[in-house]
């Protein structure tokens, strides 16, 4: 059947759109989730048009062959990982920005458009697409939609689902449907558009996306930086900022482990300042922005910051945020990284960080922490030496303990990366059997043949 499906696709779409060479296809077999298993695809289709995607779905439906959709493969949960004998659909060639509508402040794009490309194009028209995952230079809007991607400015501006107005999708029948709307508001029928966002490719292939845009921010952002002696103090600072009714445009945390890793690489002297670094921004215009930045600084100081400064200089701000940007690659130098993504109520951030430290000690595992602290969204980064199965085993146990701790604190097992393969146990524990049963019912209703990314999110 494996050969059969590849042949059928080549016949229908032409050899140019279908990769059947096993070595080349292997490059499409997984995303960036360490540890997540993956199989060997029978073929990789790179459609140029929606109709090609629809043809692919019809052929796969006929043959009951699973379809795994793929953007840039920057995912961190294994959601884009191939199954043996599946067909991977890579949207790399459907990468056109179809329309920027300045009157309606919307953009309509193909799924393969890279996040930063959309942002740059929108800026030409004075508009802004806020969702800014760390992968924005590489990840695609289609992938962002599949995972409901977040980012730094979500603390103020929301996540991908908040921006997706409408989409075109190929469903299990091979039919192409339009979901959602093009208007600012609309309540006609169920929110099937929102249901598709974050469904990790399990309900259909998204072939076009219309997102709402905001006016481009023109005021300079104010950056506030604070060093703290303890995670508890930093957590208290985050809670104080929130409780004061301040909604910063970013509020990030970096722990000593990550600061040191950056220092070791770039010799920036970051870890000299303290144990924990908080980075915050205000984008309110004029005096309001100055006042907000000043208030953030005051809350940092009141919570015990040993050092707190603010700046409006863009270059200086970029340098300050470099620590955040460099943390991940700095840790990657130390070994393969597994990224956690738990999210807890903001007030529980200090306790969750304490539990992460406890898990690291208990399982003798190295864990650094970066966090979208203003959202309660933590990214413990596990460094696991390659070729050390014992260390990997210990890290896996710590990973699951942290997942359970997040649930115990009223949190969720994934804030923005998705369930994929890595968080299926945690998702089942968080949602419970009845809600998982509702997921299964919805999946069966919209994908009765079970061809879209089976086995991801839930089993």
Distance of closest approach, residue 6 Cβ to its own copies, in angstroms: 29
* CA pair distance 150, 172, nearest whole angstrom: 28
Q: In what order do the strands lie in the sheet with 337-339?
A: 307-311, 222-228, 276-282, 250-255, 366-372, 377-383, 337-339
Minimum distance of its own copies from residue 84's CB (angstroms) = 25
What angle, rounded to 10 degrees, do the helices at 231-243 and 286-302 form? 140
Judged by beta carbon, residue 149 or residue 259, the one nearer its own copies is 149
Beta-sheet pairing, 43-45 with 87-90: parallel
Residue closer to its own copies by CB (options 26, 247) is: 247
Q: How far is the CB of 46 from its own copies (least distance, A)?
A: 26
Nearer to its own copies, 96 or 178 (CB): 178
Q: How many residues does the chain have?
A: 459
Least separation in angstroms between residue 263's CB and its own copies is: 30
Residue 182: CB minimum distance to its own copies, A:
5
Whole-angstrom Cα distance, residue 89 to residue 9? 11
Distance (Å, rounded) from C-alpha 331 to C-alpha 207? 35
List the beta strands (DSSP E) in 186-286. Answer: 205-212, 214-215, 222-228, 250-255, 276-282
User: In 3-state terms, what secondary structure has residue 264?
Assistant: helix
The angle subtended at Cα 293 by Cα 288 and Cα 294, nearest 5°, is 95
Of 79 and 113, the one with the shorter C-beta distance to its own copies is 79
Q: How far is the CB of 121 from its own copies (least distance, A)?
A: 16
Nearer to its own copies, 30 or 161 (CB): 161
Residue 395 CB-half CA count within 13 A: 24
Give one DSSP letter per residue of 34-80, joined into a string: TT------SEEE--SSHHHHHHHHHHHHHHT--EEEESSS--SSSTT
Q: For its own copies, give the closer residue by CB, 104 or 116.
A: 104
Nearer to its own copies, 256 or 423 (CB): 423
Please spell the DSSP secondary structure of 383-434, one letter per residue. Answer: E--TT-HHHHHHHHHHHHHHHHHHHHTT-BS-SSS--TTTTHHHHHHHH-HH
Q: How far is the CB of 286 from its own copies (least distance, A)?
A: 5
Work out how close the CB of 104 gets to its own copies at its nearest, in angstroms, rounded to a whole number. 5
Q: Which is nearer to its own copies, 98 or 243 (CB)?
A: 243
Instruction: State which residue, 117 or 212, has the beta carbon closest to its own copies.
Output: 212
* DSSP single-letter state for residue 455: T
Instruction: Look at residues 423, 384, 431, 428 and name the one whose alpha carbon lies nearest to residue 403.
Output: 423
Q: Of the two residues 117 and 372, which places its CB atom closer to its own copies in the complex?
A: 372
Minimum distance from CB of 234 to its own copies (Å)? 16
386: Cβ contacts below 8 Å, ≥ 6 apart: 335, 336
CB of 375 to its own copies, least distance (A): 4
């Amino acid at each position: 059947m494996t050969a059969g499906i590849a042949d059928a696709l080549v016949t229908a779409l032409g050899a140019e759109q279908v990769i059947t060479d096993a070595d080349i296809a292997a490059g499409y077999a997984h995303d960036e989730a360490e540890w997540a298993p993956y199989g060997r695809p029978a073929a990789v289709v790179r459609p140029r048009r929606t109709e090609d995607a629809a043809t692919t779905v019809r052929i796969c439906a006929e043959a009951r062959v699973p379809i795994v959709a793929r953007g840039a493969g920057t995912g961190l949960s294994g959601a884009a990982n191939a199954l043996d004998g599946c067909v991977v659909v890579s949207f790399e060639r459907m990468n056109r920005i179809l329309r920027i509508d300045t009157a309606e402040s919307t953009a309509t794009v193909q799924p393969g458009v890279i996040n930063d490309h959309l942002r740059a194009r929108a800026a030409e028209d004075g508009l802004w697409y806020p969702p800014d995952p760390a992968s924005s230079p590489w990840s695609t809007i289609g992938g962002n939609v599949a995972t409901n991607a977040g980012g730094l400015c979500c603390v103020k501006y929301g996540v991908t689902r908040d921006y997706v107005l409408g989409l075109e999708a190929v469903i299990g029948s091979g039919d192409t449907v339009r979901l959602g709307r093009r208007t600012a508001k609309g309540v006609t029928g169920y929110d099937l558009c929102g249901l598709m966002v974050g469904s990790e490719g399990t309900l259909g292939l998204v072939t076009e996306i219309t997102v709402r845009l905001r006016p481009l921010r023109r005021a300079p952002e104010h950056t506030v930086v604070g060093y703290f002696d303890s995670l508890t103090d930093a957590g208290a600072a985050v809670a104080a900022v929130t409780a004061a009714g301040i909604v910063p445009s970013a509020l990030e945390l970096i722990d000593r482990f990550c600061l040191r890793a950056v220092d070791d690489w770039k010799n920036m002297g970051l870890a000299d300042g303290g144990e924990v670094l908080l980075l915050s921004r205000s984008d309110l215009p004029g005096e309001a922005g100055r006042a907000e930045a000043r208030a953030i600084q005051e809350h940092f100081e009141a919570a015990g910051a040993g050092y707190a400064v603010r700046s409006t200089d863009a270059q200086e701000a970029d340098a300050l945020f470099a620590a955040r940007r460099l943390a991940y690659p700095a840790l990657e130098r130390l070994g393969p990284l597994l990224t956690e993504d738990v999210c807890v109520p903001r007030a529980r951030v200090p306790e969750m960080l304490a539990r992460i430290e406890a898990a690291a000690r208990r399982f003798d595992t190295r864990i650094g922490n970066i966090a979208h602290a203003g959202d309660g969204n933590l990214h413990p980064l596990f460094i696991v030496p390659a070729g050390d199965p014992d260390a990997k085993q210990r890290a896996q146990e710590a990973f699951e303990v942290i997942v359970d701790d997040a649930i115990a604190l009223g949190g969720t097992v994934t804030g923005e990366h998705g369930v994929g393969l890595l968080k299926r146990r945690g998702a089942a524990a968080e949602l419970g059997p009845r809600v998982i049963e509702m997921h299964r019912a919805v999946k069966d209703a919209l994908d009765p043949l079970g061809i879209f990314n089976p086995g991801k999110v839930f089993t």
